[in-house]
Amino acid sequence: MDLQFATLHGNDVAYRIAGEGPAIVLIHGMAGCSRTWRDVMPLLARDYTVIAPDLLGHGRSAKPHGDYSLGAYASGLRDLIAGALGVERATLVGQSLGGGVAMQLAYQYPELCERLVLVGSGGLGREVSWILRLLTLPAAEYAMPLLFPRFLRDRGNRVSAFLHDRGIHAPHVAEMWRAYASLAEPENRRAFHRTLRAVVDPGGQTVSAVDRLYLAAAVPTLIAWGDRDDIIPVEHAHRAHEQMPGSRLEIFTGAGHFLHAEQPAKFAAVLGDFIEHTAPARRDLAAYRELLRGRAPAQASAPAEAGRPAC
């Protein structure tokens, strides 16, 4: 599962790939990278082809001056998955920001999505951590070099290595630290800030998929959340489940925002069970048009006004 690279539109995109079988794409959160899935990938690779990219602006992928919107991320992933890697269909798994990217990818390119898995996902409500909201305030980017100094990152990395060597593991803290440490580099901070401001403002999350959740009625959907999530509240999971008829809800007791790292064996088992017991979506354009025109099947949420387009 070493990093590999593909060059797309002049930018290097890092990714990890392992296993054989039906494809699963694992999409990390903001300020994260594909390494966040390191404990889950070997478990899933026994039965599936598992692909974990570093989104542009994250990890070892390029950090260009460009578009860091959800739509741009979705297009870039489509080009990597279907273009560079030749994978025509996959189960899309997104954590935090990655959940928003996965939903956007399924919306823009429905033919690519067999199943949708949302893990502590963004884009399902306004509420989000106050720290992220503060970092969107005017001129916050100019204070970030003081908040994320390299010397503190280096000291923290030494402490982390010391604890790891002595068998002391705190996955949630480790994931938070890796995200913090990545922001010690100027190019990472620039990409982070552009990504953050594309989806969050001082009042909370600005991008919402709630008005389009009915479009996922034909796509098997798993919503997984930690009941101790301190970044995006677990109430978003319950609300999304109510608005997505037929979706499966799994609440991980004792887990926080990084439940895939905190409880990797359980996460892999739940994901594997979900895939094995659901048929992959085969979205046809005629049915999709019917949904958009407001003539949705009874189990889907119809628009408020008859005949009014939903999007």
Question: What count of other Cβ atoms lies within 10 Å of the Cβ of residue 103?
Answer: 29
Q: Mean of the pLDDT values across residues 85-110?
A: 96
The H-or-E segment that residue 35 falls in is: none
Report how far residue 180's alpha carbon sits from residue 171's, in angstroms, rounded to the nearest whole number: 14
Q: Catalytic amino acids?
A: 96, 229, 257
234 pLDDT higher than 80 = yes
How does pLDDT run across 138-187, given as a tens digit for each residue? Answer: 988 888 877 776 765 656 566 555 555 556 566 778 888 788 888 888 99
Residues 226, 256: contact at Cβ < 8 Å? yes
Nearest Cα neighbor of 119 from 94, 84, 144 is 94
Q: Mean of the pLDDT values across residues 4-11?
A: 96
69 pLDDT higher than 80 = yes
Beta strand pairing call for 23-27 and 4-8 = unpaired
Domain coordinates of the chain in residue numbers? Answer: 4-128+207-292
How does pLDDT run across 236-246, given as a tens digit for each residue? Answer: 999 999 999 88
Residue 301: pLDDT band (50, 70, 90) is: very low
Q: Which CATH architecture has domain 4-128+207-292?
A: 3-Layer(aba) Sandwich (3.40)
How does pLDDT run across 188-220, given as a tens digit for each residue? Answer: 999 999 999 999 999 999 999 998 888 887 899
Report how far residue 109's alpha carbon sits from residue 300's, in angstroms, rounded to the nearest whole number: 20
